[in-house]
Amino acid sequence: MGSFLLYGTFPLCILTHMLNAELFVKILEVHLHAQAHVFHQDDWFLVQDNDPKHTAKMTKAWMEKNMPNKKINWPSQSPDINPIENLFVWVKQKLLKKGPKNITQLKKEFTDLWENINGNFLENYWRSMPKRCQLVIDNDGAK
């Protein structure tokens, strides 16, 4: 699981179990706690889609208590305009070029790539979002 801000990525969380609401909340707790300096600032929002893990009662309750008014609801089934999906496509293309030979190498390549994503790249990326959304609107919901 990965997340990013305008100026950098949060540490990548490589999962070995199926992600459910309980694990999702645990990840939020651990990652957000580790990033307390960001968490306690006001200039961020969590963008997430309506995946059942994100909308589960337990997730909602945790968010309401720990990060009220920080969540932006995003339409489901809309990977074209989901910032993280677009970033993952870019990462997957890079990883395919590197051609990791096994899971160990894949984890290492993925982590190296993720941790070294440049802040300028992310800023340009975020700034392209209105244009991406407009393209979807102009094409009646298709890209």
Ligand X SMILES: *[C@@H]1O[C@H](CO)[C@@H](O)[C@H](O)[C@H]1NC(C)=O
Q: Residue numbers of the site for ligand X (CB under 6 A)?
A: 101-102, 104-105
Closest CB 109 distance from ligand X, rounded Å: 10
CA neighbor of 31 nearest in space, from 2, 7, 6: 2
Burial classification of residue 10, based on how many CB atoms lie within 10 Å of its CB (0-12 exposed, 13-18 middle, 19 or more buried): middle
Cβ at position 13, least distance to ligand X in Å? 21
How far apart, in whole angstroms, are the C-alpha atoms of residue 89 and residue 78?
Answer: 14
Radius of gyration of the chain (CA): 16
Nearest distance in Å: CB 101, ligand X: 4
* Nearer Cβ to ligand X (47/95): 95
CB of 94 to ligand X, least distance (A): 17
Residue closer to ligand X (CB basis): 105 or 124:
105
Q: Output 105 or 128, the one with its CB closest to ligand X.
A: 105
| 48: β partners | 73
- Of 98 and 132, the one with the shorter C-beta distance to ligand X is 98
